[in-house]
Structure 1
Amino acid sequence: MAARLKQRGEQLRLGGPPPGRAWCEAWSDAVDEALVALSSSVLDSHRLAVVAVGGYGRRELCPGSDVDLLLLHDRLERQELEFVVRRIVYPLWDAGLTVGYAVRNRREAIGAIDDVDTATSMLELRTVCGDRGLASLVQVEVLRRLRQRPHKFLESLRRADTDRKRKAGDAAEAIEPDLKSGAGGLRDVQSLSWAAAALVGVSGLDPLVPAGYLGATDRPRLVHARERLLAARVALHLEVADRATSTPVKSEVLRLESQDAVAARLGFVDRGEHDLAAHDLMRELILAARVIDHVHRRAWSLIDADLARGARRRRRPTEREHDGFELVDGVLRLPDGLDLGTTELPTRLLAALADTGAVLDRGSAARLRRLVEDGEPGWAWTDTQRERFVRVLWRGGVMVPALAELDDVGLLTAMLPEWEPLRGRPQRNPYHRYALDRHAWHAAANLGDLVRRESWAAEALRRVDDREGLLLGVLLHDVGKAVGEPHSETGVPLARSIATRMGAAASTVELVGRLVRLHLLIPDAARKHDVTDPALARALAAEVGDASTLACLHLLAAADGRATGPTAWSAWTGSLVQTLITKVDAVLDEQDGNGARDLEHEAAVETVREAQRLAPELGAEAAAVREHLALLPTRYARSVSPRAVVRHTLMALLPPGATEVRTRVTPGEDLAAPTGAQGHVDELDVVALDHPGWFAKVAGVVALHGGSILAADAFSREDGLAVDTFRVLPPDGAAGAWWAAVEGDLADAAAGKLAIRARVLRQARASAWRPSPAGDVPTRITATPDPAGRSTSIEVHTMDRVGVLYAIATALAELELDIVVARIQTLGREVVDVFSVRDADGNPLDADHLSELELAVAGAIAELGGN
């Protein structure tokens, strides 16, 4: 029987129904048939019911699902029960299935419902074979007890929902959604079905409609969304099984590397460069998960109100009125006589929802949805409508749920048809946590929250001439992604069109377009170039044009970065952007006639002054500090802190030997963590005789010990000393002994006593890295000139693996290139390394040099294996 069941599973996997409910039911039927055959001899002599529970009970058995069984008996002895388990369960294990089972008599089964997981599984009993009356008695009694004590069960179910979502995340927004357990996932639908058992005495979605917890239109929307997620879950299980083994494998998270294959299994096809099959799949799943999440939250708001009152919900008089809307128990209702075609209804409703934090009444939502679907609702943008919309957006995070309510019934796209392509559009990269439309909402919310909570943002806002233009620019900064790249260019006409539709002034429309075009200017420059370079500040000032626009771009960068995610914005990223903004602002101030300023000289003088003041406190002489600074380029004095100047002075007091390296580690609690870093980031200072390849040696040693370099600044003194600073993320659990080992190996590397290259290659090839089933991240190398014309920015995208930074740095050293600044990011399985480099003569790279650089870097990475 085990072989036959395994063969049937293989047939379904290779040529069964399309992924979805039909596949699940076919597989459930196959397991049913096996259980009937396995149980036949047992049932002849024992009063027993073989009962399917959970997903198997619902006949939603996915390829990798557990087969959950309840073996329900009537006073069988232990020896008899052991025989039953061997006869029924063991063959299923032999067939490669994951089987969860419980053996209980009727009293034990009923008594187990104090555990919420057991109780919910008992609500979906389905007798496969045996004594059906026995199972029916248990189910009837379980329902009776839950109906008698609904509060305890519902509160337990509510807590379980909250815990599950906290662990699994948001299926409606995550780039890698948990289809089963995430917020908006399949478990949310099941949770509502289980809640019905305690609320009305019968589990399922249908009983919730006449009881008032689901609207008549909610149920079909919920079912349609559930079926889309179920089909994706089946396709995912099949895909993972094909990659791993012929035995189905359980997987609930739709990873980036599986999305193309799952899309293909579900019939999606690429329709163009910006309309890929996986994008269409993920958009469908995001929108489906939003429906589930929205209906689930609205239903639970009613359930929670009933729990608080201790009685079932019935029609009640209005508790209070808000701007003409009725507010009852956290639910906002449109009065029956309200004219839904009133011009300014959408923004009045948005404001009311934001003010109260309420959800929209299901009947009101259905009325609005019908009006939108019928077309021509009569709404239009007026000055009052636009101003109210902008005011709500300025309120920050409280406006996001309010916008979601309007989005769910179609009001947003009815008012702004250009918004439709943004809805649910996935951003399939490790940077972004939200789909395109929700990213825009959260960016606008961040702006409102920033200017209220952070003093620098409030100060920046005071310098903005057109606050409406700023907020609309933040909301619309990424609209071009729905059209194509580069989105900072494609988005300009679309953003201007939306602002114009809203009735914004011509100057506001112009500012919105300018902000969309320039929104990446400052953060990209901060990430790729030396932010302390005055020439860079002057080049950017020419692009920005005026102080008000600069303040807008600063606020936009912070709001956008924080909405994107921790890999795109951190305290360290913010400090880089702030430094650059300060430099650009000084240039604009100079251009406004406030006097020419030598920014480079000012920064250097201040550092020199402070370093000399600190010198005695830190054990150095002021004269030694001055001598040290005199041997370094001005860039050094404006790039490092006064304390670092003194540290370096002490390290360089005596000339090091030809093979000597001096190191010093500053613990991470004193430092700001760079982009994407988790844990303490330590600062490693290195002083040694300068020669090509020092950066690579440090990178290699750190990699051999499991650490990661996140940023670096390199300087050369006139006397031939290299003074380099590295920001290093040690491995988890590393302590002082880890740094001692690193420093010891650095000394050996300097003396030529460590085979770094051979060790890195051996470790890289022996590491746990494996090619992704969806294909490797291809190595891409791009070069852009420094806006100041002093260096060349080299950006390397490649697969993360042991030694990749060492390989790149070695290639740069082979070409006698000077690394001025380095910024390193790890984004999932991809790394993005940016180097500001100059040739041996201190100049930017020419075309021939760039060609050789690409060849050298690609070759060095290929040696590690993978691409």
Structure 2
Amino acid sequence: MTDSVEAEGHGYAAARLHLLTEEGRSGPPRRAALATLTDRWLAGLATEAARETGTTGWALVAVGGYGRGELSPRSDLDLLLLHDSPQPVAPLADRLWYPVWDLGLALDHSVRTPEEARKTAADDLKVQLGLLDARHVAGDAALTSALRSTVLADWRNQAPKRLPELREMCAERAERQGELSYLLEPDLKEARGGLRDATALRAVAASWLADAPREGLEEARTRLLDTRDALHLVTGRATDRLALQEQDQIAEALDLPDADALLRQVYEAARRISYASDVTWREVARVLRARESRPRRRGLLGRGRTPSSQTAAERVPLAEGVVEQEGEAVLALAARPERDPVLPLRAAAAAAQAGLPLSLHAVRRLAAAARPLPVPWPAEAREQLLTLLGAGESAVPVWEALEAEGLVTRLIPDWERVRCRPQRNAVHRFTVDRHLVEAAVQASGLTRRVGRPDLLLTAALLHDIGKGWPGDHSEAGEVIARDVAARIGFGAADAETLALLVRHHLLLIDTATRRDLDDPETVRTVAEAVRDTSTLELLAALTEADALATGPAAWSTWRASLLADLVERVAGALDTGDLPDSADREPTAEEERLAIEAARTRGPVLALHARAEPEPEGDAQDEALGVELLLAVPDRPGLLAHAAGVLALHRLTVRAADLRAVDPVGEGPVALLSWRVSAEYGALPEAARLRADLARAFDGSLDIEARLAEREAAYPRRRGVVPPPPRVTIAPGHTSQTATVLEVRAHDAPGLLHRIGLALTATAVTVRSARISTLGANAVDAFYLVGKDGDPLPPARAAEVAHQVEAALR
């Protein structure tokens, strides 16, 4: 090395050190200044070396992060020496690389002709990505410009092939490195949602095939770069791993109060990049599918298909105001979010139940236009939230879409304190908010075990909500859960149950693993806390969902057996009470009038009423939803199946129902059915049409099965959510002294009650009365059965009926 080169190197090193330690200089300005300083030094070095070696036809090109002008303190210098000269360029390269190495700087270098660079890019996706950010530093600028133009043209021409490769590369890296937004010691560059993914989004945009949602994306990338700068300066190493022992120092360097604040900022940035990646890759897939199908579409149009009819065929209704289009849930053309405050939740629930992503345009329109929900929420809003939570895994991306646009904290303001909050516990694999959503996902698979799946799902979503406050999170969460329950429209009794579940969500597992279960005091203490078996079964399911959502170390066969033992002992110590038998209730004056008219006319008689608002102290399961339909019809075999089938044909969703028999005029029993229904797409049928179809169903002239099958064929649905299997059980003998109580817990779906009715008819039992309720996406139904002699079924016969009904539903 000549004295002048050495002196220039020392000057560069001193200026670099001053820049890195200068007060008030950080972030993008420092990275840009460091890149400019390095450009000047390398340009002088290269120009002098070319003069001394007599080399012509060369260019020094910065690529990758250096090409973007983003040099962190310990970043590699990614350099390409480009040449088209016949003379050797090795002497020039040596005079460039050795001074860089002598200063201890990391160097990633290559020497290529334009043709070699282009061929290498075609063979190596990583090289091609680096060249997309090529920037001229020194030498022949025309060489650099020509290479940039060629590489960009190749990238755009090869995008249909290259972008799927890039997506696969991103997915493999995410599988290895995990989610940046949940890791306690994340890799800022390689983990999903990190700097590599941000670079991939730039590459997609450069293809002109699709683009990422830009709002907040640059700020997120800048935040991660700033954090990496601080990491490099604190550790003195070229690392991207945010280790626990260094987080407090890095937080201080970034003027943040503590390591939790640092991680929360990092998580927020990573989520923004992850969400943008999800949206962008969906758009890429959509565009590529459209390109592949163009010849086929032209052929179809040539055979008489019109563009308008083709577009219409692609829009499949999902819910009122929501349709499926091109693999996403989007708002219907007639949807008016400014007039429909429940639409955000309805759209989210419909998307999750169908296993579809909620489109970016839909979420942003909802965030911008939807009116706030009244407090307390209307019953439909709460039902849609429960339907969303009950969708299982497919609820997660939909929830993340709502959260990305600020809709979650608008719906539940207390969510803000747990959003992106890290968990300082290696057992936990998620942040607090993501853990709560995951707990709801796990709870959705346990809803068949409990009589109130709505309370289970809500408790799962709220059980750690107190972690955003100082003190014991269970105590703080109890207060918050009570307030949130009231906000979303639960009655006072349900709100107290939810508060109790949140307050004691650790009670069962802590007691089962830390106390002597043979000590009567242990069982007595738990029994006093949970109060009744209904709450006990909810708490047991919540405990399991919480553990499964935490991570593999939190749940095991041993823990499950201890919990089951404790629950069995506590259940034995509690007074279970009786399940209410709807046959005990006297008919109202209107019900009696309808029953008398049905007995005299021997045909169906019905009345439709808009529901009254629920009483403020009422519980959720007692609220009427939509419209109340009263139906009286002479009792006959298959009545329940026929009536439920007609309602399904008219797209009426049964939210709750009571069935019982009366004999108002001594001429034989009349079945009274009190339905609470809501219209699937908003429009209620005319009472006359409904009555006519009921009459046809009862006289056998309406083929309900065929009509339902035709409707399903006309509106094919994707697979969507795979719910837990149905569970059909016989309630304990003390539940009713006059009937056998069959309990059905299943995923609600059009025609479900019709199928249950058909299965019961096939068993030749008599449904004396029934209590039907739909909680979110879950049906929880009780049927009071008697045999031909009017008595409860013998145990063996009851078990056989339960097995047959469950088999029919599966």
* Range into which the TM-score falls when normalised by the shorter chain: 0.5 to 0.7
Using the TM superposition, give the Cα deviation of residue 18 of structure 1 relative to its aligned residue in structure 2, in angstroms.
4.2
Q: Is 2:326 aligned against 1:329?
A: yes
Using the TM superposition, give the Cα deviation of residue 493 of structure 1 relative to its aligned residue in structure 2, in angstroms.
0.8
Match of 2:245 in 1: 257
Match of 1:266 in 2: 254
Match of 1:750 in 2: none
Using the TM superposition, give the Cα deviation of residue 450 of structure 1 relative to its aligned residue in structure 2, in angstroms.
4.1
Q: Is 2:511 aligned against 1:525?
A: yes
Match of 1:278 in 2: 259
Structure 1 distance, partners of 2:95, 2:568, is: 79
Structure 1 distance, partners of 2:207, 2:513, is: 55
CA contact (8 A) 2:442 2:545 kept: yes
Q: Is 2:215 aligned against 1:232?
A: no
CA contact (8 A) 1:537 1:583 kept: yes
Match of 2:369 in 1: 371
Q: Would the alpha carbon gap of residues 335 and 254 (structure 1) be closer, same or farther in structure 2, given more than 3 Å must change?
A: same
Unaligned residue ranges in structure 1 (runs of 5+): 201-207, 242-248, 270-276, 452-457, 595-867
CA contact (8 A) 2:358 2:401 kept: yes
CA contact (8 A) 2:50 2:92 kept: no
**Aligned match for 1:185, one of 194, 215, 231:** 194
Q: Would the alpha carbon gap of residues 90 and 425 (structure 1) be closer, same or farther in structure 2, given more than 3 Å must change?
A: same
Using the TM superposition, give the Cα deviation of residue 331 of structure 1 relative to its aligned residue in structure 2, in angstroms.
2.6
Q: Would the alpha carbon gap of residues 357 and 380 (structure 1) be closer, same or farther in structure 2, given more than 3 Å must change?
A: farther
Match of 2:291 in 1: 310
Q: Is 2:270 aligned against 1:289?
A: yes
Structure 2 distance, partners of 1:587, 1:414, is: 40
CA contact (8 A) 1:368 1:409 kept: no
Match of 1:432 in 2: 428
Match of 1:570 in 2: 555
Paired residue type of 1:89:
W
**Aligned match for 2:102, one of 78, 85, 94:** 94
Between 1 and 2, higher relative CO (CA 8 Å, sep ≥ 6) is seen in 2
Q: Is 2:62 aligned against 1:52?
A: yes
Unaligned residue ranges in structure 2 (runs of 5+): 1-7, 298-306, 578-810
Give the alignment of 1:343-382 within 5 angstroms. Answer: 343-371=341-369, 376=372, 381-382=377-378
Match of 2:72 in 1: 62
Match of 1:22 in 2: 29
Match of 1:195 in 2: 204
Structure 2 distance, partners of 1:579, 1:473, is: 22
1:258 aligned counterpart, secondary structure: helix
Paired residue type of 1:330:
G
Give the alignment of 1:95-134 within 5 angstroms. Answer: 95-114=103-122, 115-134=124-143
Match of 2:701 in 1: none
Paired residue type of 2:456:
L
CA contact (8 A) 2:62 2:79 kept: yes
Structure 2 distance, partners of 1:154, 1:26, is: 33
2:60 aligned counterpart, secondary structure: strand
Q: Is 2:568 aligned against 1:585?
A: yes
Structure 2 distance, partners of 1:23, 1:147, is: 33
Give the alignment of 1:720-759 within 5 angstroms. Answer: none
Match of 1:143 in 2: 152
Give the alignment of 1:668-687 within 5 angstroms. Answer: none
Structure 2 distance, partners of 1:580, 1:433, is: 22
Deviations 1:255-307 (A, max 9, x none): 222222221111112xxxxxxx3222222222222121112211110101222
Paired residue type of 1:88:
L
Match of 2:50 in 1: 43
Match of 2:383 in 1: 387
Using the TM superposition, give the Cα deviation of residue 558 of structure 1 relative to its aligned residue in structure 2, in angstroms.
1.6
Using the TM superposition, give the Cα deviation of residue 122 of structure 1 relative to its aligned residue in structure 2, in angstroms.
0.8
Paired residue type of 1:492:
E
Paired residue type of 1:350:
A
Q: Would the alpha carbon gap of residues 378 and 334 (structure 1) be closer, same or farther in structure 2, given more than 3 Å must change?
A: farther
Deviations 1:733-772 (A, max 9, x none): xxxxxxxxxxxxxxxxxxxxxxxxxxxxxxxxxxxxxxxx
Paired residue type of 2:256:
F
Match of 1:32 in 2: 39
Using the TM superposition, give the Cα deviation of residue 145 of structure 1 relative to its aligned residue in structure 2, in angstroms.
1.9
CA contact (8 A) 2:475 2:503 kept: yes
CA contact (8 A) 2:9 2:99 kept: yes
Q: Mean alpha-carbon deviation: is it higher for 154-163 or for 523-532?
A: 523-532
Structure 2 distance, partners of 1:104, 1:312, is: 40
Deviations 1:105-131 (A, max 9, x none): 111001111210011011110111111
Deviations 1:640-672 (A, max 9, x none): xxxxxxxxxxxxxxxxxxxxxxxxxxxxxxxxx
1:68 aligned counterpart, secondary structure: strand
CA contact (8 A) 2:31 2:71 kept: yes
Structure 1 distance, partners of 2:358, 2:110, is: 43
CA contact (8 A) 1:480 1:489 kept: yes
Using the TM superposition, give the Cα deviation of residue 590 of structure 1 relative to its aligned residue in structure 2, in angstroms.
4.0
2:81 aligned counterpart, secondary structure: strand
Aligned residues: 549
Give the alignment of 1:499-578 within 5 angstroms. Answer: 499-529=485-515, 536-567=522-553, 569-571=554-556, 574-578=557-561
CA contact (8 A) 2:352 2:398 kept: yes
Using the TM superposition, give the Cα deviation of residue 562 of structure 1 relative to its aligned residue in structure 2, in angstroms.
1.7
Structure 1 distance, partners of 2:41, 2:576, is: 87
Using the TM superposition, give the Cα deviation of residue 577 of structure 1 relative to its aligned residue in structure 2, in angstroms.
4.4
Q: Is 2:169 aligned against 1:160?
A: yes
CA contact (8 A) 1:479 1:491 kept: yes
Q: Would the alpha carbon gap of residues 59 and 465 (structure 1) be closer, same or farther in structure 2, given more than 3 Å must change?
A: same
Using the TM superposition, give the Cα deviation of residue 523 of structure 1 relative to its aligned residue in structure 2, in angstroms.
2.1
Q: Would the alpha carbon gap of residues 70 and 450 (structure 1) be closer, same or farther in structure 2, given more than 3 Å must change?
A: farther
Structure 1 distance, partners of 2:536, 2:374, is: 39
Q: Would the alpha carbon gap of residues 101 and 536 (structure 1) be closer, same or farther in structure 2, given more than 3 Å must change?
A: same
RMSD across aligned C-alpha pairs, in angstroms?
2.6
Match of 2:783 in 1: none
Q: Percent identity?
A: 35
CA contact (8 A) 1:17 1:23 kept: no
Structure 2 distance, partners of 1:448, 1:359, is: 19
1:310 aligned counterpart, secondary structure: helix
Using the TM superposition, give the Cα deviation of residue 447 of structure 1 relative to its aligned residue in structure 2, in angstroms.
1.0
Q: TM-score, normalised by structure 1?
A: 0.60
Q: Would the alpha carbon gap of residues 505 and 344 (structure 1) be closer, same or farther in structure 2, given more than 3 Å must change?
A: same
Paired residue type of 2:20:
R
1:432 aligned counterpart, secondary structure: coil
Paired residue type of 1:55:
G
CA contact (8 A) 2:509 2:563 kept: no
Q: TM-score, normalised by structure 2?
A: 0.64
Paired residue type of 1:551:
E
Paired residue type of 2:343:
L
Give the alignment of 1:827-842 within 5 angstroms. Answer: none
**Aligned match for 1:480, one of 466, 470, 473:** 466
Match of 1:413 in 2: 409
Structure 1 distance, partners of 2:240, 2:65, is: 14
Structure 2 distance, partners of 1:173, 1:593, is: 42
Using the TM superposition, give the Cα deviation of residue 86 of structure 1 relative to its aligned residue in structure 2, in angstroms.
1.9
Q: Would the alpha carbon gap of residues 75 and 430 (structure 1) be closer, same or farther in structure 2, given more than 3 Å must change?
A: same
Structure 2 distance, partners of 1:43, 1:16, is: 37
Deviations 1:411-439 (A, max 9, x none): 22222222222222222332222222111
Q: Would the alpha carbon gap of residues 378 and 76 (structure 1) be closer, same or farther in structure 2, given more than 3 Å must change?
A: farther
CA contact (8 A) 2:58 2:85 kept: no
2:207 aligned counterpart, secondary structure: helix
Using the TM superposition, give the Cα deviation of residue 584 of structure 1 relative to its aligned residue in structure 2, in angstroms.
4.6
Deviations 1:497-538 (A, max 9, x none): 001111112221111111111111122234444566665444
